[in-house]
A and B are shown apart, each in its own frame.
Chain A
Amino acid sequence: MNNSIELINLSKSYNDKVAVKNISFQVKENEIIGLLGPNGCGKTTTIAMILGLLKPTNGKILINNKDIELHKISLLHKMNFISPYIELPKKLTVKENLIVYGKLYDVKNLSDRIDHLCNELRLKNFLNKITGELSSGQKNRVSLAKAFINDPNILLLDEPTASLDPETGDYVRTFLENYKKEKKISILLASHNMDEVKRLCSFVLMMKNGKIIDKGNPNELIKKHGRKNLEEVFLKLTRSKNEF
């Protein structure tokens, strides 16, 4: 299968502490899956294992049917990641950052690619500005450009619109929707923004204490739990002692 992520019985422990416990799921081509759960439930740990930043204690991660542990470098060429908690080098200009990452990802026709992303993400006006001097919204668009520099077919998003104003947040979500439609990429989205998840995701995984406690289509989950919206489902599940 192309453009797919598959986790099989994945676990991660640090000494006695279990961060992720035996989770399995799949993100298919042209699909956005939401990963929801309270802080510390294992979302970022899961994403870090998919990116090869963290070694799983048990289980397997297949990207396009290939084991990430065995084919990490070749698979990373077509993967990318966005998180507000990691930044691009602040002292470099936006263009320099894009050149650096374009080279690291071995992008062909890099200047064309940068021009294309500049148009798509409206970066032209600050392309030669120092990255550290940009507003949060501008920085977020630059991070998006970095994440799309290699034209990825697997994208991992960790709270991509956290701390953004509603206009920029909406802009990012629209960009992601359009990109997914056009390129049929697979996206795993970890977020605390329930409206964002409902809008973008066709399927949601609820995590708590390192385990998947429920899953399904956002509307189906709302119906199943008899709540008005996804946020109420989230609160019910995270506050409950039972698993569903």
Chain B
Amino acid sequence: MYGLFLRHFFLIKSSFPRILDLIYWPSIQIILWGFISKFFSTYSDYYNNTVGVILTCAILYDFLFRSSISFNMLFLEEIWSRNFTNLFIAPVKIGEIIIALIFTALVRTLIGLVPAILLTSPLFGISILNLGVPLFFLFLSLYVFGITLGLFVSSGLLRFGPSFENIAWSSLFLLAPLGCIYYPIEILPEIFQILAKLLPLVYIFDEARSILVNNVVNYNNIFHAFYLNIIYLVIGISLFYYSFFQARKKGSLINMGE
């Protein structure tokens, strides 16, 4: 498990462009959303804290996005480097592979996001820490969901091989509109509202807005997100195991590469 973490740690630390790439996109994303929300706050009085709300939601969404992409990237790195066989003939349990990927994905995500979060204070006078203690639960909830999506996509990669790579990149964009990241659920058409309520994202972002706009902590939202996360995580892990066993049957673990 530690070996697998080291493999990705060595990869990141030895490449400055790789570190830059991890930091660059979250920072650009946050700065862009910061200016957009500043513009909205000048011309709208819907929220009394527009910049804070939009920027905080942008940071939370980026955390989700980065954690999911990081998980997928780690898996894809093994495929791209044709190291898949070496990994699966090592005495490592599937559970250990999952745990190593979860931990390494967190490190990757934080490398990218911490500088972006630090930028928001001097540039826009916003601190995500204003969310207080619930912030930890929101991050945790988003991280679990990001990892779960990563597990779904990695299961697809195991089952269908590198051709599934494009799904890895687009999986989160598919869910983003239903996640109600920047708007309340009422904005969605009724049928989409039903689907959206099946995702933990709606509760997480609703909670963030509730704290920032109304100064009210609604722990029901946090519990709801957690219940859903646990269900999806169990499905994600089961699917990953199932895909691994199917890949062993179909031979897709042999010489998998670009």
What is the CA–CA distance of A14 and B247 in the complex, to the nearest angstrom?
12
Roughly how many angstroms separate A53 CA and B253 CA in the complex, as a whole number?
6
Mask of B235-250 contacts with A, CB within 8 angstroms, 1/0: 0000000000100111
Residue of A nearest to B86 (CB): A86
B82 and A54 contacting across the interface, CB-CB below 8 Å: no
Could you say which interface size class chain B belongs to? 20 to 34
One of B7, B83, B88, B249 near A55 (C-beta < 8 A): B249
- Residue B194 at the chain A interface, CB threshold 8 Å: no
Q: Which of A54, A80, A92 contacts B10 (CB 8 A)?
A: A92
B6 beta carbon closer than 8 Å to chain A:
yes
Judged by a CB distance under 8 angstroms, whether B91 is at the interface is yes
Question: B214 to chain A: which residues have CB within 8 Å?
Answer: none
- Minimum Cβ distance to chain B for residue A131 (Å): 9
Contacts A53-B248, A54-B248, A86-B86 given: A100-B7 contact, CB under 8 Å? Answer: yes
A87 to B82, CA, bound (A): 6
Do A76 and B91 touch (CB < 8 A)? yes
Main secondary structure of the interface of B (DSSP, over half): helix
Q: B14–A100 contact, CB under 8 A?
A: no
B132: CB under 8 A from chain A? no
Tell me if B89 is interfacial: C-beta within 8 Å of chain A.
yes
Q: Is B36 an interface residue (CB 8 A)?
A: no
Distance to closest chain B CB from A171 (angstroms)? 22
- For B10, the chain A residues whose CB sits under 8 A away are 92-93, 96, 99-100
List B residues 179-223 near A (Cβ within 8 Å): none
Contacts of A91-120 to chain B: CB distance below 8 A: 91-93, 96, 99-106
- Which B residues are in CB contact (< 8 Å) with A55? 245, 248-249
Extra inter-chain contacts (11) besides given A48-B254, A52-B248, A146-B86, CB under 8 Å: A14-B251, A52-B89, A53-B248, A86-B82, A88-B83, A88-B86, A89-B81, A91-B11, A93-B10, A96-B10, A96-B14
Can you list 10 A-B pairs with a CB-CB distance of less than 8 A? A45-B251, A53-B88, A53-B248, A53-B253, A85-B82, A86-B84, A86-B86, A88-B83, A91-B11, A104-B4
